[in-house]
Amino acid sequence: MNLKQLSHMLSLSQTTVSRALNGYPEVNEETRRRVIDAAKRHGYRPNPSARRLATGKSGMIGYVLPTGAAVDIDPHFVEFLSGLGDYARAHELDLVLSPADADDEETTYRRIVANRQVDAVYISSPRPADKRLALVNTLGIPFIVHGRSEGFDFDYPYLDIDNEGAFHEAARLLVQLGHKRLALINGNDRETFAIHRERGVGRALAASGLTLGERHIRSVTMTEENGYRAARRLLEENEPPTAIVCSSLIMALGVVRAVRDLGLTIPGDLSLVAHDDVFPWLRPENFPVPLSTTRSSIRLAGARVAERLAARISGLEEGARGEVWPVDLVVRGSVAGAPL
């Protein structure tokens, strides 16, 4: 059932039927009702390919997926996707994943924009002065950044959590508990979120005249093994930290293992706080010692990003609105006063 048949059936022109269905004003309400009714009865669905060709709109959102033999997709991605799906499901919005060589995403961005494959894209894990931002900005495709970048002469729409505030709170708590030697096991410090987190911890320490020395910062990709290694190196130093703030639950697993291997205890010898993106399959309250966390659901963020992308596509949202979500600090058994 296509438009031609439907309009013939109604003894109307394709123009009128099309307009009736798409909510244009220049059609009699009575006629519109007839059309909509007939369309529903006959299960008419406009052919998306034809519509695409005519309008240049695809009704899909895109994501350029960096891949490569040495590249692992962040496990957080799947949670973000769940959220995105939560929104998209209800709006028949599909997501196009365009795998790209991690060393050359630009080609892929250009391709999907030139081909008009998607109406909008989102960008995740941005870095300061991230080239992708500049690119999509000049290419003129609607976009939203999940996270933040820095150092541009233009504003852009984003959704981010208050990483600095969260880690500031966490560190401040530890300082208040008497800890003087804090360490930070961070994610890749070329990404903005990691920079913000470090800044948060640094600010909290500075407020008490303390500092976060180079020695006490590890910046690694977030695997259990890297968490373990970082923790061991920190804890085997001369004056080991008495508290660690850690950027992910997965790394925290490694930290816990290292602490055990060294015959230490949490929170007796070491206080530990980690950031929790809320994985359904690994929960901080189930750690050997319930883990204190800064918590923010990445799934909710996914849903919100989808919602805002849809709004931008339909013109409901404009401009460079930045949105920063607060982060909860949830204190559990893994923190205690500094050892004497």
Partner DNA sequence: AGAGACTTCCAAAGCGCTTTGGCTAATTTG
Partner DNA sequence: CAAATTAGCCAAAGCGCTTTGGAAGTCTCT
Binding-site ranges for DNA (CB under 7 A): 2-4, 11-16, 18-19, 21-22, 26-29, 31, 44, 46-47, 49-51, 53-55
Q: Looking at beta carbons only, is 7 or 296 nearer to DNA?
A: 7
What, of DNA, a second copy, none, does residue 19 touch, CB below 5 to 8 Å by kind? DNA
- Cα distances from 44 to residues 13, 33, 50, 111, in angstroms, run 16, 15, 14, 32
Q: How far is the CB of 41 from DNA (least distance, A)?
A: 15
Can you tell me the distance from the alpha carbon of 135 to that of 114, in angstroms, rounded to the nearest whole number? 13
Longest Cα–Cα distance of the chain, Å, equals 89
Q: How far is the CB of 80 from DNA (least distance, A)?
A: 31
**Under DSSP, is residue 219 helix (H, G, I), strand (E, B) or coil?**
strand
The torsion region of residue 129 among left (phi > 0), alpha (psi -120 to 50) and beta comes to left
What, of DNA, a second copy, none, does residue 94 touch, CB below 5 to 8 Å by kind? a second copy
Of 134, 142, 145, 135, nearest in space to 118 by CA: 142
Binding site for a second copy (CB under 8 A): 45, 47-50, 52-53, 56, 58, 60, 65, 67-69, 71-75, 77-79, 81-82, 84-86, 88-89, 92-101, 111, 114-117, 222-225, 228, 250, 253-254, 257, 260, 279-283, 286, 288
Between helix 131-139 and helix 105-114 the angle, nearest 10°, is 20
Residue 301: Cβ-neighbour burial (10 angstroms; 0-12, 13-18, 19+): buried
Q: Looking at beta carbons only, is 33 or 260 nearer to DNA?
A: 33
What DSSP string runs through 308-332? HHHHHHTTSS-S--EEEE--EEE--
Q: Looking at beta carbons only, is 15 or 107 nearer to DNA?
A: 15
Q: Looking at beta carbons only, is 50 or 97 nearer to DNA?
A: 50
Q: Looking at beta carbons only, is 12 or 175 nearer to DNA?
A: 12
Handedness of CA 86, 90, 91, 96 (dihedral sign): positive
Q: How far is the CB of 90 from a second copy (least distance, A)?
A: 9
What, of DNA, a second copy, none, does residue 188 touch, CB below 5 to 8 Å by kind? none
